[in-house]
Amino acid sequence: MTHFQPTALAGAHTALVTPFSRDGSSVDLPALEAQILFQASGGITGVVPCGTTGETPTLSDAERRSVIQTTVATANPLGVTVIAGAGSNSTAHAIELQAEAEGFGADASLQVVPYYNKPSQDGLFRHFTAIADAARIPIVLYDVPGRTGVGLSVDTVVRLAAHPRIIAIKVANGSLGFVGDVAQRCDLAILSGDDPLTLPMQSLGAVGAVSVLGNILPSDVAQQVAASNRGDFAAARVIHERVYSLATGLLSLDGNPVPVKAAMAMLGRDSGVVRPPLACASASVRDRLKELLDAVGVHGPAGVHDSAGVSGAVGSR
């Protein structure tokens, strides 16, 4: 039985990128540690390693383990919660990954809707229930039908909310109606999985976010979420409007995490390298990102923009 309550996951969580070496052959663990320190200094509540933004499908088993272990070892002393990605489209494998995350000391796990095999709602209910039955730490459901090909219905979410270890859901389906219905019908902690929609989602009952933008602007994301949670939507809207174009660009200029890694490279925070089948950001995407970063007053070291994520990058174009 978990000691967590749903409100324990309220706040801003950053969906961490996985930093790679310049040739893409290895994970840059010192860069990961530095990024977690940066998140903590910005007031972020928690971090999420090995999710969509972390390019998890391209990590070896050993790399995935090292990312979660390094994240826990770095985040725990800072009081930063770790929600480790541990999902799979095989129920048995997801249970194994869940057990690993528990063993590494993660505070909770992120369990994505099974991808590719497109289960029914009953199949989804059985999948998540089996994982929760075997788990010892809390589970955050992750609904992202654009990636998985199928999504959770509100009825299925309500059924799953009755399980004591399923305490939250990351909503990345673009539906504000879904958020409102879930908030009215059960007590799961709702976390926005779509930065441009975090403010409206919180107005309907969400209590936090799992943010891509947080990789670049952790303090802004943390302050916006906190303002909404205390009912100061006017203050939250000021931040929302300032960062909206950048938040939208990070998710629309190319597939996540290509734009956010390119932007981080411009700021000297990452190599900008992604692994195949992803390709590094094109020159036009980088030009647009520079405009968006300039608009919010975020600048990197001089001369970084022209070379970030290009020279020596696996899969670059």
Q: Could you tell me the residue ranges of all domains in the chain? A: 6-219
pLDDT at position 158: 98
Q: 241-281 pLDDT, tens per residue?
A: 999 999 999 999 999 999 999 999 999 999 999 999 999 99
pLDDT at position 4: 53
When the candidates are 3.40.710.10, 3.30.420.40, 3.40.50.720, 3.20.20.70, the CATH number that belongs to 6-219 is: 3.20.20.70
Q: Active-site residue among 142, 244, 261, 290?
A: 142
pLDDT at position 299: 87
Q: Specify whether 118 is catalytic.
A: no
Q: Active-site residue among 115, 116, 118, 170?
A: 170
Q: Specify whether 115 is catalytic.
A: no
For the chain, list residues with pLDDT below 70.
1-7, 302-317
Q: 188-238 pLDDT, tens per residue?
A: 999 999 999 999 999 999 999 999 999 999 999 999 999 999 999 999 999
pLDDT at position 224: 98
Between CA 229 and CA 287 the distance in angstroms is 35
